[in-house]
Amino acid sequence: MKMIGSLAARVTALAGGGAKIIVLIIDQQFPAPVAYQNAQVAVLAAARNANVPVWAVLFNPSLGGDNPRATRQMDAALGQANQTFTKRTLAAFNADTQPNLRTALENAQIEWIVIMGTQSDQCVRLAAVGGPIDHQRKRFATGATALGYKILTCPQVQSTANVAWADQSKVTCYTQA
């Protein structure tokens, strides 16, 4: 569902109303445009001001090590993160993700997930709504919506701005960060 308005304002309103909400950053270690970084900073600032936890999920964190720009982005995101998860596959809800993301969300009784990150048409999409994880479309990943979570996002906090997957029932896509 598309909504006109600000993702940061919605985060503030939900947190102020007592909703159980987190910001989930996916694969921040990959390079991203400056405009994306600025939008992400705005949402992270709103989350921090509203005492909303920020969690980061990284795909093989060593991948950012040879790219100084990517390393700076990863360090900035991790500096904001209350908790960090490492995944070995494209899917954040895979049993190999350490610590287990699904268990952590359940333990924190989360209802809403603000999702942002790089590779929005791949790993971010898989974390949000799931889908095929191979070219033959034989293996599928479970996304947060299938687990009962409501997703908030906007194109500006996705580095590739491809959020076609946001047209699903438990996903709300805002027009601005």
Q: Note the pLDDT tens digit of each residue in 8-25.
A: 999 999 999 999 999 998
**% of the chain residues with pLDDT over 70:** 77
CA distance 112 to 174: 14
Give me the phi and psi of 113, to 5 degrees please: -125, 120
State the greatest distance between any 2 C-alpha atoms of the chain, in Å, as a whole number.
Answer: 44
pLDDT tens readout for residues 91-138: 888 877 888 899 999 999 999 999 988 766 788 888 998 888 777 777
Please check whether residue 141 is in contact with residue 133, taking contact to mean a CB–CB distance below 8 angstroms. yes
pLDDT of residue 41: 82
Which structural domain, as residue segments, surrounds residue 126? 2-176
pLDDT of residue 119: 67
CA distance 51 to 167: 28
pLDDT bin (cut points 50, 70, 90) of residue 85 is: confident
Provide the edge-to-edge strand list for the sheet that holds 150-153: 2-6, 171-176, 150-153, 112-117, 21-26, 54-59, 83-87
pLDDT of residue 94: 82
Please check whether residue 157 is in contact with residue 36, taking contact to mean a CB–CB distance below 8 angstroms. yes
Half-sphere exposure of residue 39: CA atoms within 13 angstroms, side-chain side? 25
> Is 90 exceeded by the pLDDT of residue 47?
yes
Under DSSP, the state recorded for 39 is H
> Is 50 exceeded by the pLDDT of residue 75?
yes
Tokens 């942002």 locate to 116
Please check whether residue 118 is in contact with residue 160, taking contact to mean a CB–CB distance below 8 angstroms. yes
Strand partners of residue 86: 58, 98
The number of distinct structural domains making up the chain is: 1
Q: Of 32, 20, 6, whose CA–CA distance to 123 is shortest?
A: 32
Q: Give the global pTM.
A: 0.85
| CATH number, domain containing residue 49 | 3.40.50.850
pLDDT bin (cut points 50, 70, 90) of residue 64 is: very low
For the chain, give the mean pLDDT: 81
Q: Quick count: other Cβ atoms within 10 Å of Cβ 65?
A: 12
